[in-house]
Amino acid sequence: MLSIRPFGPPDLPHVAGIVRESLRENYPSSLYIDIHRWWRDGFLIAENGASILGFLAAVVNAPSTARILMLAVREPWRRQGVGSRLMDVFVRECGMRGLRDVELEVRKSNVAAIRFYTRYGFQISNLIPRFYTDGEDGFKMRRHL
Ligand code: ACO
């Protein structure tokens, strides 16, 4: 049974593991703690019983704009609606906080994620040359709520 709940500090090693596997990044623990402190309701965990399947982490970037920093679902659980559930709950949280726009960056080569975001009403607004540390370009995508 899939449920979406706020992140808590005991989730940290699981989230860091998903980030390593799915986003190929290695961030210090302090980053997750800071994101959690900045906006508790914008850091969401998808779980099935005791297993964490995915997460979404966002910050408030401007008075009316949220920025999704990370969204990932563990590989065996993709294409089963987990990312959609995370996005639905996140958009509801944005509404409750009075946020009107959501933005994010995605690797230019990440066709699956670009399709996912497009399905959720995001549009590519511009290319960001060499946005990623390995030199890959990123797309900025935005959605008006
Ligand atoms: N190819 C094409 N369309 C896709 C794909 C895909 N691989 N994945 C999702 N979609 C689209 C489809 O329209 C899908 O609906 P359908 O299955 O009925 O056709 C719809 O999105 C909803 O898919 P979900 O099952 O809800 O999405 P999922 O749980 O698989 O999560 C996610 C999508 C988060 C992008 C997942 O693929 C993932 O974790 N990828 C690796 C990590 C990643 O790239 N994250 C985004 C980086 S950008 C950032 O973090 C800001």
- Cβ of 106 closer than 6 Å to ligand 1, yes or no, is yes
Cβ-count burial 16-27 (b if 16+ within 10 Å, e if not): bebbeebeeeee
Q: Which of 114, 49, 48 is nearest to 77 (CA)?
A: 48
Around 108, how many Cα atoms within 13 Å sit in the side-chain half-sphere?
12
Residues contacting residue 37 through CB under 8 Å, at least 6 positions apart: none
Distances (CA, A) of 112 to 29, 34, 135: 27, 28, 20
pLDDT in tens, the chain (145 residues): 999 999 999 999 999 999 999 998 899 999 999 999 999 999 999 999 889 999 999 999 988 999 999 999 999 999 999 999 999 999 999 999 999 999 999 999 999 999 999 999 999 999 999 999 889 999 999 999 9
**pTM listed for this prediction:** 0.97
DSSP labels for 1-33? -EEEEE--GGGHHHHHHHIIIII-----HHHHH
Q: How far is the CA of 132 from the centre of ligand 1 (A)?
A: 20
> What is the Å distance from ligand 1's center to 80 Cα?
9
**What pLDDT does 133 receive?**
85
What pLDDT does residue 58 have?
98
The residue contributing the CA closest to ligand 1 atom 17 is 79
Instruction: State the amino acid at position 48 in one-letter form.
Output: N
Ligand 1 nearest atom to the CA of residue 79, by list position: 25
Residue type, 109: S
pLDDT at 24: 87
pLDDT of residue 115: 98
- Give the residue, by CA position, lying nearest to ligand 1 atom 20: 116
- d(CA 111, ligand 1 centre) in Å: 9
* Minimum CA distance residue for ligand 1 atom 8: 112
What per-residue confidence (pLDDT) applies to 52?
97
Q: Tell me if 20 CB under 6 Å of ligand 1.
A: no
Of 90, 66, 70, 68, whose CA–CA distance to 25 is shortest? 70
**Which residue has the least CA distance to atom 12 on ligand 1?**
116
Edge-first strand listing for the sheet containing 101-107:
2-6, 43-48, 51-62, 65-73, 101-107, 138-144, 123-128
The best mutation among 84, 107, 116 to test binding of ligand 1, ranked by most ligand atoms within 8 Å of the C-beta, falls on 116
